[in-house]
Structure 1
Amino acid sequence: MASWINRNRVRVGLAVVAPFAVAATLAPVRARIEIVDVALLLVVVVVAVAALGSRLAGYLAALSAGAWFNYFFIAPYEQFLIADRSGAQGFVLLMIVGAAVTELAVWGRRQQDVASREAGYLAGIHAAAASGATGGGSRQELIRQVASDLVEALHLQTARYQSGVAGLGDPARLQRDGQIMWKDVRWDVDHDGLPTDTDIELLVEHGGRLHGRYLLRAAPHTAVSLSERRVALTLADQVGAALG
C-alpha cells in the first residue's frame, strides 16, 4: 500500500512539474519557435505522464501544460491571462488533446495489463495440463498450485481444495457456463461482484466422475469478467484430468 502511494505521488509530481520544466526551457526562444511545435511538445509530455497508468496524473499534466502554455507562449506573456480569441482557442485545444491522449494512454495501459494477466493464466493452465499429461510432480503439488492460480485469476482471498464432496454447506456454485448460482438464483456478478457471504464452490470433475471441489472465498467488491471465470473452470478441469 505504501509503495502504491509513493508511486502515485511521483506520478502527480511529474504531472505538475514536467510541463512547467519544458515550457520554461522553451520560453527564452519563443520568438524563434513555432507555437504549434511548443503545443506538440507539451502534448508529448502529457502522453509520457499518462502512460504511467494514472488518469489523475494525465489530467493534471494536461491542466499544467495548458496553464504554462498560456503563461509563457500566449500574449500577454508571463501572465495567466488570455487577451484574444486565438489564444483562448489554442489553450482549449491543448486541454482537449491532452485529455484525449490521457484516455488513450490509460486504455492502452489497461489492455497491456489484461494481456499480461491472460498470459499468466495461460501459463498456469499449460503447466497444469503438462503435469497431468506427464505425471510430473505430485497431485498434491498440482492441487496447491491451481489453488494459487485461482486466487490470482479471480482476485480471491483464499482457495482451498476438498476431496470427494460437493454441495456441503450450501455454497454458491460456479457453473460450467461461467455463471454463479446461489440458492437457485443466478448471481449478477457483473453488477454485484462475487458473493462474499458464502464460499463459492468450483467442482473438480473428469469423465462424469466427481473428484472434489475448490472452495473460493472472495474479497469484498471483487469484480471478475466472464473470461476470468472460464479460466478458473479450465484450471479445475486440468486438476480433474490429472486426478482421473
Structure 2
Amino acid sequence: MPRHLEKDALTLVVALLAPPVLSVLLVPFRGTFRTVDVALVLVVIVVAVAVYGRRLAGVLAALSAAAWFDFFFTQPYGRFTIAKTSDIATTVLLLAVALVVSQLAARARRLEVVAVTDAEHLSRIHRTAELAQSSRSPAVVVDHVREQLIALLGLRGCRFEYGSLLGHPARLERDGTVVVGRKHWDVDRNGLPAQEIELRTFANGHYYGRFMLRPVAGTIPSPQARLVAVILADQAGRALDTARPTHENA
C-alpha cells in the first residue's frame, strides 16, 4: 500500500477509535469534571486528527466525539439519548466546533489551523448556544452576541445591521482572517485596522445581517478569539433563522 494511503487509513482508524477510548478513560472522573470540560478535551482530539488527516478523518472524528460524549457523559448514561437541555446544547456545540475545525484544516493546509481549545472561549460559546436555544426573542440573542464580541475582541463598540449589504467595509472572514478591500490584513502583525469591520451572520444558507465591529486600532485579538467571534455570530444567525417562519407568517 502506498505510504500516503497508509497514513489516510491510520487517521481514519484513529478518528473512529480515539474518542471512545479517551471517553472510557475519563468515565471514572465523570463526577469531577464538568461536561463542558470533557467536551473541550474531545475537541482537542478532533483538532489533532483534523490537522494530521484529511477532511473525512476530521468529520469522522467530530461525529465519533459527539456520539461518545452523548453515550458516556450525558444522562441517562450508557444510552444514545440526552435528557437535559443543557447537555443537548453542549453536544451540539461539540459537534459544531469540531466540524468547523476539521473543515478549516481541509481548506487551509498551508495555514496554521486555529482550534478553539481555550476553556473560557468554549464556555462563552456554550452560554450563547444555550441562550439561542432557550430564548424566544432573537433580538435578545443578537444583543448578547454583540456584548460578547465587544469583550472578546476588545472593541470600542459594535452594532447589528439587519438586511442587505451596503458598502465595502473590511470583513472578518469565516476562518478568522480579516480582509480589507481585496487584500488580507495581517492582524497578528498590524492589529485590527482603524475602520469598521463587518462580521456577516448566516444560518441554513440565509443571510440575516452583519455585526459592525468598531475596533481599537492596533488591538491584536488572538486567532482563537477571531474564530470564536465567527461562531458566536453563527449562533445569532440560528436564533434569527428559528424566528424566520414566525415573521413570515405574521
TM-score normalised over the length of structure 2? 0.47
Higher Cα Rg, which structure = 1
TM-score normalised over the length of structure 1? 0.49
